[in-house]
Amino acid sequence: MTQRTLVLLKPDAVQRGLVGEILGRIERKAGWSITALELRTLDRAILEQHYAEHVGKPFYQPLVDFMSSGPSVALIVTGERVVEGVRALVGPTDPIAAPPGSVRGDFGTVVRENLVHASDSEESAHREIKLFFPRLA
């Protein structure tokens, strides 16, 4: 089943020079393709919509601050079971719990600044693509 998902390479991935490594892992996955890619500093208004379900939680404001602190890479990845696959590729949010071979397992250092966002469902992917790439939704 071909799907599309949104992936964000967060400011820490850009700052640490890991964009090529992470994109390479996505590109090497058979059957997946990057169908949109943009480097930009994310607008707070978009981030507030993106993280709306977390409003009022103690990590919400620090997360929005971090995500708007520098450039990120937003991309759409298309392929078979790509939503589930990208989440496995990046690993769990906690880098200590993330297995070796996953992005967070290999490069993650802390939970809050965890290098990558990947949509958690087809519904989320559709909503997030519409938010970050409205012309391609």
Catalytic residue ranges: 117
Q: Is 132 exposed, middle or buried (0-12, 13-18, 19+ CB in 10 A)?
A: buried
Residue 26: other Cβ atoms inside 10 A:
22
Residue located via tokens 């250092």: 109
Q: How many residues does the chain have?
A: 137
